[in-house]
């Protein structure tokens, strides 16, 4: 089940949904995510081998934050390049699908079975096998992960 909530002007995506990507790279975006993503949104390389999808207003907020990174630091430049060089503006077609560019499909290993996950202000698009693997590791160490969240004031 996929649910989105609107909090002020921000939306919160959550849940998990499975879909297949076709040979042309078209992927159905779950209906419950479409309204908050909007007609146009950005898909880019994410972390851990998935893709991130941002509504345009969230992408703009993210872009503004990257301007605060020091250009003189190599890691800051690499971080910014990772997201911006691969970013692609996406539009939903009449069937609620997006066309995922070949370079992004290769990066995330998207061939057929995909999982779309709502994660706060973004969606993530995963190859189903990779999602199962990373989710299994997280579940096995979740108690330790949760304990370490105190370092972030959680």
Confidence tier at 4 by pLDDT (50, 70, 90):
very low
Classify 2-127 by CATH class.
alpha beta
Confidence tier at 6 by pLDDT (50, 70, 90):
very low
Count Cβ atoms within 10 A of the Cβ of residue 38 and give its class: 0-12 exposed, 13-18 middle, 19 or more buried: middle
Q: Is 28 helix (H, G, I), strand (E, B) or coil?
A: strand
Closest CA to 17 of 34, 25, 29: 29
- pTM to 2 decimals? 0.87
């Amino acid at each position: 089940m996929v649910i989105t909530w609107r909090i002020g002007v921000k939306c919160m995506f959550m849940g998990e949904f499975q879909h297949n990507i076709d040979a042309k790279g078209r992927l159905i975006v779950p209906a419950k995510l479409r309204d908050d993503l909007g007609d146009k949104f950005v898909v880019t390389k994410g972390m851990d081998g998935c893709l991130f999808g941002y509504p345009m207003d969230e992408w703009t907020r993210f872009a503004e934050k990257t301007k605060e990174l020091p250009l003189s630091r190599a890691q800051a430049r690499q971080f910014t390049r990772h997201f911006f060089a691969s970013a692609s503006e996406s539009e939903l077609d009449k069937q609620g699908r997006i066309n995922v560019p070949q370079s992004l499909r290769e990066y995330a290993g998207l061939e057929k079975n995909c999982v779309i996950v709502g994660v706060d202000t973004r969606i993530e698009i995963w190859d189903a096998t990779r999602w199962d693997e990373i989710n299994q590791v997280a579940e096995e160490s979740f108690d330790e992960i949760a304990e370490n969240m105190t370092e972030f004031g959680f």
